[in-house]
Chains A and B, each alone.
Chain A
Amino acid sequence: MIPLSIHNPLALLALSLALFAAGGFASLLCGRNDARAIRIAGLSGALGGLSGLVAGLFALAGPATSFSATGPFPFAHFVLRLDPLAGLLVAVISALALVGSIYGLAYVREYAGRGVAAMGFFMNVFIASMLLVVTSDNAFWFLIFFEMISLASYFLVIFDQEREAVSAGFLYFVVAHAGSVLIMAAFFLMANATGSFDFAAFRSAHIPEPVASIAFVLGLLGFGAKAGVIPLHVWLPRAHPAAPSHASALMSGVMIKIGVFGIVKVAVDLLGASGGPLWWGLLVLAVGAVSSVLGVIYALAEHDIKKLLAYHSVENIGIILLGVGVGMVGLSMNQPVLAALGFMAGFYHLVNHAVFKGLLFLCAGSVIFRLHTKSMDHMGGLSRQMPWTAVSFLIGALAISAIPPLNGFVSEWFTYQSLFRAARDGEWAVRVAAPVAAVALALTGALAVMCFVKAYGVIFSGPARHHHHDVKEVPSPMRVGMALLALACVALGLASPWVAPVIGHVASATAGLPDVVLAQGAVTVPGDAGQALLSTPVIAVMLLAMGVLPVLIKAILSGHGRPASRRGAAPWAAGYLPDSHMPITAGSFAQPIRMFFRPLYSVRDQLAARWNGVEHGFDDLTAAARRAEPRWDVEVIDPVVAGTQKLGEKLQVIQGGDFRIYCLYIIAALVVLLALVIR
């Protein structure tokens, strides 16, 4: 029984789950009353998110609290466990749910008349099942809730009912289930070795080596598919853009983090007692490096704003896995500081990515809300009409490009520092791998800058390339949603000396290590101050202070008698008449990268060709259904009809049309009847 008090995070979590469930069903009951459904789903989501956020934040400091019930199945106890890592995930999921629900209050009106009630239901179920997955402490229930996530999000992906959305949804459905089969296999291996489905049993057992490694690889593949690591990412850039934008924000911002959470859960929490060999960490590191570079390269070539953001999710999952990989390497080399630093970097980036990716998807949603297109080539010049959205997007773009002093930079800095430490103190294989990963991260950073200059520039700057003359800023709930996340980007960056130790504690508690020094006053340090120092508050102050100097120079030196500034007629086009096709587009901006990295793009085409089989599977299925339906006609209905007709034709022989024959029939019938009676 859970004592209901504010100090018990599990009680708050239960409250939050109840709110999501109640809101979801209430929204479904609204039926065709769209306005009420939107209000109920949005408000219940916001309240549930708020209470979940508080629960998660309370759980960060630990110790773990748990709740156990027998449940309907004798073989599987229903156990919820809120440890610091689960608390971190609960906080992130709830924060995004809170913001997404506020945003949805206005955004979902775009979908009015297309089953809004169901959308509210699926959103709430989706969020609640994510909360349950990260807290459930039993393999059976974990899998149940994991399936619920896939199902609820599947319905959100196919919400538009367009051909592309349905086909993307099918691909997603197949990959998600293939992933859960692998995860199931991993859990069964562990259950087989321990004789129980409880994570507690996995945690304490020592699983022998080949079994543990097989379980780890199965888990990595299964959760990797959920996280969207390359080459299991194919569903992600198609499914995430198809969903409504606040659902995309949740899918890209938090759902794929469940994949990372699962990898950490399997490798560190469940199999931690068995102690993973070095190659586990190196494998994760390699997957991270490949995903980060390829993810951003593919993002650069996109014209569709939501696809671009989805590919960036692949990139950022890669960056998170770099940190996690270093942590696992540190664990197996028995270097607690390195391990804690690596996990901390990964978790920090996990939180940051949720915030800025959520923000960017919401901003993209706002633009789509007004322009009704996802193609960046039909946007442009929106910063004048949509200043709030533009500034929010710019903050998100700077954060995801790891520009100091925002949050993305801080977590990437910690990732670099963990890689540096691994390269300095590690074993030989690690000393080779870590700098390679650092170069991959540098390349990723530079490409991300390019990609987001392109995204912001092509959407919000320069001349307008759309034909809507009455574009306005979005309604206030959407602005509030974006502003909250933009503020979080700034706060998580500037307050890094205070945030880092909290996340560091989560990392240490997860891996069962002592806490590491991550901050001294307003300065963040990676374990020891001799290795490096960073102070985001000082950077911010310096930027503000140094910003004064050029303004002063301009004010003092520029002549007061000079003519007033004016707007010119058109940009200089080397004497040609400027025309609207001249300014740079999303495609031409990224053209050099497409030229220089052509081999990597052909890798994608190869991969896509392999995966096309799955999509063809969908087409084959519909085609088969289309063939099966007439077959019923051909093989059952048609023979019956034809047989009846044939019978009729046969019977026509006796109907000659001559009345004398009919008289003969009557006489014959009379004779037969008389004969019967007389006998």
Chain B
Amino acid sequence: MLPDLPHLALAGFQATALLAAAPLVSGFARVMRAKMHNRQGPGLLQDYRDIVKLMQRQEVWPPDSGWVFKAMPMLVMAVLLVIATGTPIFTLAPPIHVMGDLVLSIYLYALARFFLSLSGIDSGSSFAGIGASRELTVGVLVEPTMLLSLFVAALLAGSTDEGAIATAIANGHMQSAGAAVLAGLAFAFGVYVELGKLPYDMAEAEQELQEGPLTEYSGPSLALLKWALALKQTLVVGWFVGLFLPFGASADLSIDGVFNGALAFALKALVIFAIVGVLSNAVARVRFRFTPRHSWAGVGVASLAFVFYLVGV
């Protein structure tokens, strides 16, 4: 059950490919935004150029910050890379089987969130502190939706292994299709909130909170952090696609299969990020105090999926 060499190679490939593509995802969002504003806007590769530029800049630490503040960007990126080795994205099975449990995935995201928020307090900045509080509050609000929708999918597949869920959906081995669709919708809502885009751009709300936990970062740390957050967006979309839209993902470890799986993921991600781009630029930010109304709606959809599962529709 422990990973062998081909699986480790796949894990390494998937993690580095997603990491390499992450600035493309955030760059694409900027292009979309400019298009919707009727602006010229930056090029698709602007975020790569930004990272390289920031890497050459001086780092300035806030006076009261400690090691948490300095280590956080690297820690968060490492955790996200670990998640990337356990999520079935290019293939139907998770690259590393023992990392592919849905509870583990949820709690690894919590690990990243823990340090991201802690750095906000550690910086001593009031904006970063409020951003940290909001980041965690959003986590509290979406976690029930995400867990319940994944739980329903797992019940349909008979296992909490993400590979088993992806395989069951890809093969249509579901006792109740309605429950699977509703669980997918609820999970998509959770993933959308996790993307941190409008209307749920809470923690880093640029106009309100000066980018929240990012406020005090500069130079290479800021570059790493921006890169890590882009990786997180790629990864949560990969999570959704891998579990609920696994069509085209490779069932084996052949090089062709994995390559086609990666290509299929790129296409699906393109469509999803295009939809996300349109959505996020067409709406205004939800007032923070009203977010629970939205998140309870998400829980409601997930509960409906659960009811559908119980009655077997």
Q: What residues of chain A have their CB less than 8 Å away from a CB belonging to chain B?
A: 381, 383-384, 398, 401-404, 409, 412-413, 416-417, 420, 423-424, 431-432, 435, 438-439, 442-443, 445-447, 449-450, 452-454, 456-458, 460-464, 520-523, 529-535, 538-539, 542-543, 546-547, 549-551, 553-554, 557-559, 561-574, 582-584, 588-593, 595-596
Contact = CB atoms under 8 A, between A and B. Distances in A.
Contacts of A592: 133-134, 137, 288
A462 B213 CA distance: 13
Given A450-B140, A571-B125, A557 B51 contact: yes
A565 B61 contact: yes
A574 B128 CA distance: 12
B64 A462 contact: yes
A442 B106 contact: yes
Contact of A404 (B58, B104, B228): B104
A380 B64 CA distance: 10
Contacts of B111: 398, 403-404
Contacts of A549: 19, 77-78, 81
Given A538-B3, A583-B124, A583-B125, 16 more contacts: A420-B151, A420-B155, A435-B155, A453-B117, A462-B121, A462-B124, A520-B1, A531-B158, A532-B101, A532-B161, A535-B1, A549-B19, A550-B74, A566-B58, A582-B126, A596-B292
B23 interface: no
Contacts of A442: 106, 143-144, 146-148
Contacts of B98: 523, 533-535, 538
B99 interface: yes
B259 interface: no
Contacts of B299: 439
B64 A559 contact: no
B304 interface: no
B72 to A, nearest CB: 11
B58 A565 contact: yes
B62 interface: yes
B58 A564 contact: yes
A449 B110 contact: yes
24 contacts: A409-B107, A413-B104, A413-B107, A423-B155, A439-B144, A439-B299, A442-B147, A454-B121, A461-B66, A461-B122, A462-B123, A535-B1, A539-B82, A543-B82, A546-B82, A565-B58, A567-B61, A567-B62, A568-B61, A570-B62, A571-B125, A571-B126, A572-B210, A572-B216
Nearest to A419: B151
Contacts of B56: 558-559, 561-562
Contact of A567 (B52, B60, B106, B210): B60
Contacts of B219: 558, 562, 565
Given A542-B82, A574-B210, A596-B292, A533 B161 contact: yes
Contacts of A569: 63
A404 to B, nearest CB: 5
Interface in B33-69: 51-52, 55-68
Contact of A461 (B2, B68, B99, B224): B68
A551 to B, nearest CB: 6
Contacts of A445: 106-107, 110, 143
A554 B155 CA distance: 42
Interface string B106-139: 1110110110011011111111111011101101
Given A445-B143, A534-B98, A584-B133, A562 B110 contact: no
Given A403-B107, A453-B132, A424 B158 contact: yes
Contacts of B155: 420, 423-424, 435
A546 B78 contact: yes
A494 to B, nearest CB: 14
Nearest to A573: B126
Contacts of B81: 546, 549-550
Nearest to B148: A439
Nearest to A526: B160
Given A461-B68, A533-B101, A571 B124 contact: yes
B233 interface: no
A445 B56 CA distance: 39
Interface of B: 1-3, 15, 19, 51-52, 55-68, 73-75, 77-79, 81-82, 85, 96-101, 103-104, 106-108, 110-111, 113-114, 117-118, 120-130, 132-134, 136-137, 139-141, 143-144, 146-148, 151-152, 154-155, 158-161, 164, 210, 215-216, 219-220, 223-224, 228, 288-289, 292, 299, 306, 310
A100 B67 CA distance: 29
Contacts of A457: 117-118, 120-122, 132
A35 to B, nearest CB: 36
Given A417-B160, A557-B51, A533 B97 contact: yes
A550 B221 CA distance: 10
A383 B62 contact: no
A435 B58 contact: no
Nearest to B137: A592
Nearest to B73: A550
Nearest to B158: A424
Given A403-B111, A593-B137, A439 B147 contact: yes
A15 B224 CA distance: 58
B151 A584 contact: no
B12 to A, nearest CB: 10
Contacts of B99: 535, 538-539, 542
B58 A562 contact: yes
A404 B107 contact: yes
B73 A416 contact: no
Top 7 closest pairs, chain A to chain B, by CB: A584-B129, A457-B121, A571-B125, A442-B147, A450-B136, A461-B122, A559-B56
A577 to B, nearest CB: 12
Contacts of B63: 567-571
A395 B66 CA distance: 17
Contacts of B101: 413, 532-534
A529 B147 contact: no
Identify the interface centre among A431, A445, A450: most chain B CB within 10 Å of its CB. A450
A453 B2 contact: no
Contact of A554 (B74, B140, B146, B288): B74
Identify the interface centre among B57, B106, B130, B160: most chain A CB within 10 Å of its CB. B160
B159 A530 contact: yes
A347 B140 CA distance: 27
A337 B123 CA distance: 49
Contacts of B58: 562-566
B47 to A, nearest CB: 14
A428 to B, nearest CB: 8
B224 A553 contact: yes
A371 B123 CA distance: 22
A194 B113 CA distance: 56
A449 B58 CA distance: 32
A156 B213 CA distance: 43
Contacts of A582: 126
Identify the interface centre among B19, B67, B164: most chain A CB within 10 Å of its CB. B67
Contacts of A416: 103, 160
B127 A523 contact: no
Contacts of B154: 420
A543 B118 contact: no
Nearest to B302: A439
B110 to A, nearest CB: 5
A439 B129 CA distance: 28
B62 A571 contact: yes
Given A417-B160, A446-B110, A539-B99, A571 B215 contact: yes
A383 B51 CA distance: 31
B118 A463 contact: no
Contacts of A533: 1, 97-98, 100-101, 161
Nearest to A381: B64
A565 B228 CA distance: 21
A530 B167 CA distance: 13
Contact of A557 (B52, B117, B151): B52
Contact of A547 (B2, B3, B74): B74
B197 to A, nearest CB: 20
